[in-house]
A and B are shown apart, each in its own frame.
Chain A
Amino acid sequence: MIELLSAANAGVLTLLILALAALAYVLARHRALRAVDGDVRRLHSLPSYYGYAAAMLTAVPALLVLAVWLIVQPWLVQMQVAQTIPAADGARAVETLPALLSDAGIALGGTLEPAIVEAAQQHARLRALGHAGRSLVVLVLAIAGLVAALRMTDPTFRARNTVESGVRALLILAASLAILTTVGIVLSMLFESINFFRAHPWQDFFFGDSWSPNFRGDSDLSILPLLWGTLYISFIALAVAVPIGLYAAIYLSEYANNRVRSIAKPLLEILAGIPTIVYGLFALLTVGPFLVSVFGRGEDGLLGVDWMNGATSVLTAGLVMGIMLIPFVSSLSDDIINAVPQSLRDGSYGLGATHSETIRQVVLPAALPGIVGAILLAASRAIGETMIVVLGAGAIARISANPFEAMTTITTRIVSQLTGDTDFASPETLVAFALGLTLFVLTLALNVLALYIVRRYREQYE
């Protein structure tokens, strides 16, 4: 019996609970109808509400307990096991336990300390116990809910009100998931970042000048070269996207007739819908080799210069990212330029200004805060972009002003530190979380700033 209970995984349990809930619906609806001999008018609510109320009482508490259990159990088990391990290597050893666990059944190599093996076995025991307890509690709860709901079902039971407050609670829960996600993002990165800063000095991370991870330990892990690469590439991307996007937005909103607008605008926006992996491949295989043929290869090249050695470079990634950002800048700016009141333009024309003078001296200054906001949003996009730089920017961390050199970015390093065989106890892996947290804070700050500027601007004309 216990084995059966501990074998039931979360998916099976959920299905069981849902089946019980369906049963509760049928039984309660039937019971309510029978209590009034089929005369619906004597019921407080429509018959189906009695069914829904019973189904909710059966399923919701059980599913909630299941969810909480899923989240809390691993943590409790780890805490328990951590106490049995000698304090010296306690925290680190527990981190690696899950990996050891799979080996616990078979013969272990001599490298493991007995305390850790014992801890691993205890871990497995506690987990099995936890699973059995979980199945038992959840199923008992569901059946208890079913019985209670059936007993409550009589003609005076305010079933609709019960169902509606239950649904309301579920709606609030769904809406709170956004908060939960943010909290999850921050906590998951914060804890691992703290672990990282325990193993690696924070001065080196923030103020060091080189990045050379070395999996034997003793690595230089400084964010500055990565930050430089990120900002340099983003700068080139914005230098491409802002003029093109802005002029395109101005032309579309001020000059173009409806036909041109209805064709050109969706076409430009296709650029924003193309997955970034496509841009990454485009950078690596098309733009990179093209740039090499122009700026590289010495005498054989188009310019006869030898500035560029490989296809991956700051310029490659920046140019392609710029193309990706064009529609981002253009459609945001387009909306903002359209929001400038027509009366401002009419006033300017009345004074004898030409169309372009009106745009440059009246419309753009009025739209400037919004456009700055749009550019900041685009910058935050550029900083967080991953696939283009992973494929197009290269992997060498350096601080240099030469756009033809390969450089690396924060996102690239996160990918390379967290893919492949990773050991979550080493600073070389944990640094990815500190990088992720920095990236999150950076893009969040840019977004908040951009939204603040846009919102303040909007108030002017309302």
Chain B
Amino acid sequence: MTDVPNPAAPIADPRGASSLLTQDARTTRRNRAEGRFRLYGILAIGVGLLMLLVLLVTIISRGTGAFQQTYLTLPVELLEAKLDKKGNRDIEDIKKVSTFGYSPLMNAALEAKVAQAGIETELEPKAMAALLSKDAAATLRDFVLENPELIGTTVEFEFLVNSRVDGYLKGRVTRESIANDKSINAAQLDLVDALVAEGSLAKRFNPEFITGSDASDQRPEAAGMGVAMIGSLFMMLVVLALALPIGVAASIYLEEFAPKNLFTDIIEVNISNLAAVPSIVFGILGLAVFINYMHLPSSAPLVGGLVLTLMTLPTIIISTRASLKSVPPSIRDAALGVGASKMQSVFHHVLPLAAPGILTGTIIGLAQALGETAPLLLIGMVGFIASNPPDGIASGLMDPNSAMPAQIYEWAKRADPAFYERAWGGIIILLVFLVTMNAIAVLLRRRFERRW
């Protein structure tokens, strides 16, 4: 304003009458925009947290079923005439009886049970036997081989039942949904209902899901995570044994010794880029180098461990460097001052002080590696049934095995609701491991982290 305002005439406010006590239209609009903006932020966080909640609820509601399994308790007569024809209890002779020798005993026990409980059914004996799992005879055989002295007696035995029956008890299979299902019919479900009412058919906790091995795609009720867990364990051992020392050595060099030159720059750029390379590319590397070129056995946890090591190294290097950096220079100076060499100051003083941070970073890196699936698909850790637990360190490293995430993928691919339930259950086990590892990392950080 260049003119001196005339005090006699009030200045005309271009926005009309204004007061601090009443909001004009523009201020109202601006305040409303402010409120909306804030709301968007709250909504965004709400959506994120809601998704987390939905994900966790889905996993738990769909997966807990896998930890329960339906068993049929039957008194089964272990006929000596069938199982040990010579009667001398020689374990080699008993082993000669295959599962086909056990099936009739089992089926007879079921028929006897139905008759004894007075259940009316028009089912053929064969249709009744179909309620039992295809794995039940093998379980009975293993039991007898372990306890040969029980031959000739009658034992109460818990038989696995077919996954459809199991699904019926868990509510996954209903009378409506079996209309087109060849493996089970309404009459069989009537028998199931009667057996449940009688008390011999019931759900209980299923430890085999945690300790057992995978089963073929005809018998989801017998599939377990145990062998895949051992595969994962061996892979993690390889990762730990290689990635931790190499990662720490690389970080020490880069943080404490490396001169500022082109070579160091190239290493730094490489590490940050490797951290962002898609995991499947590491799988291609593993396939091309470890399997096609070096002829290491495919599907072996050793190869999986090597691939995951290369993948985890950048994570470990980045976190190790951060914790080395956080050790104050005064520590190094003090060590050098009392006559330690540079190497001694690093290994005797800096490294022990940085150890909690390094450990935390390593555990988080391992947790990442544990959940990684894509590279394992390429080196062949899927597509077969991981049925035999390894019997030593060498076979654990070199024999084909699966890993937890690969096993989950395998089950997801089999396109059977019973296997889907296993897959969700497998995810619960995997997440329990991840949560435990991360909790340990957080605890370590809380307990040992030093602020200088």
**Residues of A at under 8 Å CB distance from B?**
11, 70-71, 74-75, 98, 160, 164, 167-168, 170-179, 181-182, 184-185, 188-189, 191-192, 243-248, 250-252, 254-255, 264, 267-268, 270-271, 273-278, 280-282, 284-286, 323, 326-327, 330, 354-357, 359-360, 377, 380-381, 383-387, 390-391, 411, 414-415, 418-420, 424, 432-433, 436, 439-440, 443-444, 447-448, 451
Contacts and interface: CB of A to CB of B under 8 A. Distances in A.
Interface string B332-344: 0000000001110
B287 interface: yes
B266 interface: yes
B295 A276 contact: no
A281 B279 CA distance: 18
B43 A174 contact: no
Q: Which of A184, A245, A448 has the most CB of B within 10 A?
A: A184
A411 B31 CA distance: 48
Interface string B383-423: 10000000000100000000001001100100000001001
B253 A174 contact: yes
B267 interface: yes
Interface stretch (B2-10, B115-123, B353-361, B374-382): B374-382
A175 B254 contact: yes
Interface of B: 30-31, 33-34, 37-38, 40-45, 47-49, 51-52, 54-55, 58-59, 62, 245-247, 249-250, 252-254, 257-258, 266-267, 270-274, 276-285, 287-289, 292-295, 310, 313-314, 317, 341-343, 367, 370-374, 377-378, 380, 382-383, 394, 405, 408-409, 412, 420, 423-424, 427, 430-431, 434, 438
A172 to B, nearest CB: 6
Q: What are the 5 tightest A-B residue pairs by CB atom distance, in nearest-first order? A: A384-B278, A251-B41, A275-B371, A247-B44, A188-B288
A433 B277 contact: no
Given A178-B267, A273-B438, A327-B48, A356 B34 contact: yes
B266 A419 contact: no
B330 to A, nearest CB: 23
Contact of A277 (B43, B247, B257, B371): B371
A386 B280 contact: yes
14 contacts: A174-B253, A176-B267, A179-B267, A182-B273, A188-B285, A245-B44, A245-B48, A248-B41, A277-B408, A277-B409, A278-B431, A355-B34, A381-B276, A415-B377
Given A247-B41, A327-B48, A357-B34, 13 more contacts: A70-B294, A98-B292, A177-B246, A178-B250, A247-B45, A264-B45, A277-B412, A323-B55, A355-B38, A360-B37, A387-B373, A444-B276, A448-B273
Contacts of B258: 175
Q: Tell me the dominant secondary structure on chain B's binding face.
A: helix
Contact of A271 (B33, B51, B282, B427): B51
A277 B44 contact: no
Name the prevailing secondary structure of the A interface residues: helix
A164, A327, A420, A436 — which one has the most chain B CB atoms within 10 A of its CB?
A436
A282 B281 contact: no
B250 A244 contact: no
A357 to B, nearest CB: 7
Contacts of A164: 341-343
Contacts of A182: 270, 273-274
A443 B372 CA distance: 19
A438 B213 CA distance: 38
B249 A386 contact: no
Contact of A185 (B47, B277, B313, B430): B277
B409 A387 contact: yes
Given A277-B371, A278-B59, A418-B378, A436 B250 contact: no
Nearest to B406: A277
Contacts of B41: 247-248, 250-252, 254-255
A329 B430 CA distance: 25
A184 to B, nearest CB: 6
